Amino acid sequence: MDTPRHTCLKLDIRVAGGGVAEPVFVKGTWHPTRFDLSITDGLHAWNCHATEEEVKERASSWDQTVSDYLDLAERYLGFQQSGSVYGFSDAGNGSKRLSWTFEKEGTKLEWRWKCQPSSDCKKTTAQVLDFLMDANIRLSEEVVWKMQSFDTLKLEAEKCLAQSEKLSSEKSEFESEIYGKFVNVLNTKKAKLRELRDRLSKQGTTHHLPEDEEDQSTDKTESFDEGTDDDEDDRGKNILDSSKDATRSASKPRGRKRK
């Protein structure tokens, strides 16, 4: 079985002729297929007991289901709607007629329910006031609990913020220290690499010079040896030619001829 819901609405009913608005309190008890209303102005009280048959008939006349009809009635009698016009007028024999307006598909409509005088106005009024007091206490406790929760969350948030700032500061210091050490190590490594590079370049120059000289001397020697063989052949030919010339000159007569 569904637990009934309870609502309480304060209405400022305008009096005909522009008089002072009279407040009335409407307490609603909402069941799955029916509802009950208890209304009081502090002095008099009225009751409305909407039976299942009455609710079903009203819902059918408005082309609605019972649940839709009850949801719409609870919405307008649970919280005062700014666009609705509420009324609480005489219906004769001490009865009152509670009405409210709403719009549906651009058309302004009105619902009315007749309320009978309470058999015990004092009891009905006390029930409404008790409900309001209990609701006020619950709301006050909820507000206090939420304020305490808010203060606790605020304190925790401040602690988290302080811790976050501390961690951020420590992180910055750690990074600065590590980067400083890294830069020093990197500079040292760079200096050692430059020193090794200079050494290698000097050693390479020292080893290359003798090899070049040997290559040059070898080239000169080879060219000299090759040239010697040719010169010997030429010299041999020159010697033979000169010996032939000498023989020829010796065989010629050297004195003058007699006439």
CATH of residue 91's domain is: 2.170.210.10
What does the alpha-carbon distance between residue 158 and residue 164 come to, in Å, rounded to a whole number? Answer: 10
Task: Convert the pLDDT of each residue in 194-243 to its tens digit.
Answer: 888 888 888 877 655 555 555 554 454 444 444 545 555 555 455 545 55
Residue-range definition of the domain harbouring residue 53: 5-119
89 inside domain: yes
What total number of domains does the chain contain?
Answer: 1
127 inside domain: no
Task: Convert the pLDDT of each residue in 99-135 to its tens digit.
Answer: 999 988 888 999 999 999 999 999 999 999 999 999 8
- The rounded Cα 99 to chain-centroid distance in angstroms is 50
pTM, whole model, 2 decimals? 0.57
What does the alpha-carbon distance between residue 148 and residue 25 come to, in Å, rounded to a whole number? Answer: 32
What does the alpha-carbon distance between residue 118 and residue 249 come to, in Å, rounded to a whole number? Answer: 182
83 inside domain: yes
DSSP codes, 119-165: S-HHHHHHHHHHHHHHHHHHHHHHHHHHHHHHHHHHHHHHHHHHHHH
Which residue has 């039976």 as its token pair?
51
63 inside domain: yes
